[in-house]
Amino acid sequence: MAYVVTRLCVDCVSTECVGACPTDCFYKPADPAAGMPNMLYINPDECISCAACESACPWKAIFEESAVPAVAADDTAWNKYCSTNAAAFVKAEYENKTNPTEEEVEANKVKWGMA
Ligand code: SF4
Ligand code: SF4
């Protein structure tokens, strides 16, 4: 079962997941104005469920599919959209960004109802 990026990634997009992934299966919307949430997505067809990204994500935004919280259930479909609508995505690239503080991570969870 593939791993899933949830809405905790929205506008955070810190990309440590990209650096950790052995199969290079993280994507971002090809057109930021196309209406998709501004976050990264995992193509479930390319994910080998190694779990490396889960611990690498400083925002704790990644879950194994069966463990995605109910409030973020729609995000599983968004990730699957990567495999069914490949033209809407481009490969995400690693960028060296500043990691959030513990307080910022907790505030982000509260913002999205995932605390
Ligand atoms: S490391 Fe986490 S928050 Fe950053 S881009 Fe990847 S999934 Fe999103
Ligand atoms: S579980 Fe492994 S293969 Fe799947 S997205 Fe995360 S790092 Fe990549």
Residue span of the structural domain in which 24 resides: 3-111
Ligand nearest the Cα atom of residue 53: 2
Task: Encode pLDDT of 38-95 as tens digits.
Answer: 999 999 999 999 999 999 999 999 999 999 999 999 999 999 999 999 999 999 999 8
User: For residue 16, which atom of ligand 1 is closest to its CA?
Assistant: 1
Q: Which residues contact 24 (CB under 8 A, 6 or more apart)?
A: 18, 46, 91
- The pLDDT assigned to 111 comes to 97
CA of 114 to the centre of ligand 2 (A): 22
Number of independent structural domains in the chain: 1
For the domain that residue 62 is a member of, what is the CATH number?
3.30.70.20
Contact call for residues 69 and 114 (beta carbons, < 8 A): yes
Measured distance CA(103)–CA(23) in Å, rounded: 31
- The pLDDT assigned to 9 comes to 96
CA of 56 to the centre of ligand 2 (A): 10
Measured distance CA(29)–CA(37) in Å, rounded: 8
Ligand nearest the Cα atom of residue 62: 1
- The pLDDT assigned to 98 comes to 84
Measured distance CA(26)–CA(107) in Å, rounded: 25
